[in-house]
Amino acid sequence: MRDSVELERLGVPTVTLVTTSFQRLARVTSEALGMPDQAMAVIPHPMGGIPAAAVRSKVRNAFPDILDKLTDWQPAPTRAKARPVPRSITVEGSVAEVHREFRARGWSAGLPFIPPTRELVDHLLTGAKRPRDEVVWNGVAPRMGILTLETLAACAAMAGCQPEHMPVLLGIVDALQEPNSWYAHQATTTGTESLLFLINGPIIAELDLAAGTGAAGLWYHPNAAIGYAIGLVSKVVGGSKPPDQDKSTLASPADLLNWTIAENESENPWTSFAVEHGFGPSESVVTTKVVYPPIDIADHQSESGADLLHYIAHCINQPFVYAMRHQPVLLALCPEHAATLAGDGYSKSMIREYLWQNARYPASVYAEPAWQAGSIRANDDFPDLRYGSNQRLPIVARPEDIQIIVAGGPGKHSHFFPGPKGIVSRLIDSRR
């Protein structure tokens, strides 16, 4: 819907085909983008995964409506909606009443939270040296919510954050506004996508962020609180809620709580992720990445780097329909696997190259519509790629799209986060 709104802004009238299951999301998104009435032609869901003849039949049935939207349709009169929003509310009763009120307003998923009292939010704001009314994110999709520093502090308070976590949250908020973060896509997609926040640098020790055993398991307060705070920003401020705005087919707990981990820098035999990407070793960095649920690479038997890589390649060689685009996937090596590989002389570049060459799957897994869609296409590495090819395809477009970190504690379980999509890094500035 965003694309049609942008074209309309440029004076180009549009008609958008929307399936019945996504009609409500389309309306909400369009309204949030400032165009509450937009020409949409609704077609029975689905449009994908059905024979071409069925698609054509649906279009023919909808054609009178499509024609009307192209010619005679006029938008309903609208006027700018000034929506006064109270900065605070008053609730009388016990904390249970607070939870009921927040749940009724859509400000809570029903999970426990800490009531964002004025005193608590003021306390959180001591962690940021900026005016409380400053807009730190002007348009959190899909609702296009306005995130002020105060609103961020309220979400942070609810999640159990402390003032010292605010610079990390601000770094994440800044990163997610980059188009390459794929945030808006992640917030509304049907895919099982969530956000992963990777932290590097001295702030790991300063905040006692977890990087070892159970780092992502939500038992460590800083990690859990930061992920939950951003989750509340997404759901409450951004309105990314199922079933109408967040269309994730099944979703996962990370949809609300995200993945927040520190890289295990002390057990990383190579350079850290942040240093590898141009940051200084004394700089604190947060990286956001859109991820799918990970694959557990449980290798307890390989004693050599070569054997381990061979095993990893076979664990991660799964197709992904957008794999030919230049977008990253994430391999989180556990310290023991990292030590095995580094001990046998493997660098990150060598690992990437090996996996790009060997973690492959047959092109024939894609049905013809995927080829017609152009999702799978020939490129410089595969100039003869076409429907019917017997070639084996890599999991990403190029080796450098395989991002590698070291995370977790003792044990021989690495993790691969598939789904090549958005990655953005930002400095964490404690002076903000």
Partner 1 sequence: MIWDLVNPEGAARPTSLTPAPRPASLRGKTIGLAWNGKPGGQEALEEIARLLADREPGLQFIKYWQAVPDSVAPRELPQATIRKMADHHPDLVVLSQAD
For partner 1, the closer of residues 114 and 306 by Cβ is: 114
Phi, psi of 345 (to 5 degrees): 85, 10
In the complex, least distance from residue 362 CB atom to partner 1, rounded to whole angstroms: 19
**Cβ–Cβ under 8 Å, residues 308 and 340:** yes
For partner 1, the closer of residues 51 and 278 by Cβ is: 51
For partner 1, the closer of residues 40 and 351 by Cβ is: 40
**Cβ–Cβ under 8 Å, residues 393 and 152:** no
Pick the closest to residue 18 from 52, 69, 77, 75 (CA basis): 69
For partner 1, the closer of residues 76 and 431 by Cβ is: 76
Distance separating alpha carbons of residues 359 and 312, to the nearest angstrom: 8
For partner 1, the closer of residues 245 and 272 by Cβ is: 245
In the complex, least distance from residue 162 CB atom to partner 1, rounded to whole angstroms: 16
CB atoms within 10 A of CB 184: 20
In the complex, least distance from residue 312 CB atom to partner 1, rounded to whole angstroms: 28
In the complex, least distance from residue 331 CB atom to partner 1, rounded to whole angstroms: 23
91 contacts: CB under 8 Å, gap ≥ 6? 97, 98, 101
In the complex, least distance from residue 155 CB atom to partner 1, rounded to whole angstroms: 5
In the complex, least distance from residue 408 CB atom to partner 1, rounded to whole angstroms: 30
For partner 1, the closer of residues 85 and 388 by Cβ is: 85
The region, left, alpha or beta by phi > 0 then psi within -120 to 50, assigned to residue 139 is: left
For partner 1, the closer of residues 1 and 329 by Cβ is: 1
In the complex, least distance from residue 20 CB atom to partner 1, rounded to whole angstroms: 11
For partner 1, the closer of residues 187 and 406 by Cβ is: 187
22 contacts: CB under 8 Å, gap ≥ 6? 45, 247
In the complex, least distance from residue 41 CB atom to partner 1, rounded to whole angstroms: 8
In the complex, least distance from residue 23 CB atom to partner 1, rounded to whole angstroms: 10
Distance separating alpha carbons of residues 108 and 236, to the nearest angstrom: 7
In the complex, least distance from residue 247 CB atom to partner 1, rounded to whole angstroms: 8
- What radius of gyration, in Å, describes the C-alpha atoms of the chain? 24
Pick the closest to residue 193 from 144, 159, 234 (CA basis): 234
In the complex, least distance from residue 60 CB atom to partner 1, rounded to whole angstroms: 7
Asked whether the CA dihedral 97, 100, 102, 105 is positive or negative, the reply is negative
* DSSP string for residues in 162-177: -GGGHHHHHHHHHHHT
Distance separating alpha carbons of residues 337 and 201, to the nearest angstrom: 22
**Cβ–Cβ under 8 Å, residues 288 and 330:** no
For partner 1, the closer of residues 133 and 296 by Cβ is: 133
Asked whether the CA dihedral 170, 175, 181, 184 is positive or negative, the reply is positive
Q: How far is CA 79 from the centre of its chain?
A: 34
Distance separating alpha carbons of residues 130 and 136, to the nearest angstrom: 10
Stretch (H or E) spanning 224: helix 221-232
Q: Which residue has the tokens 């850290």?
A: 272
For partner 1, the closer of residues 17 and 385 by Cβ is: 17
Stretch (H or E) spanning 155: helix 149-159
For partner 1, the closer of residues 52 and 111 by Cβ is: 52
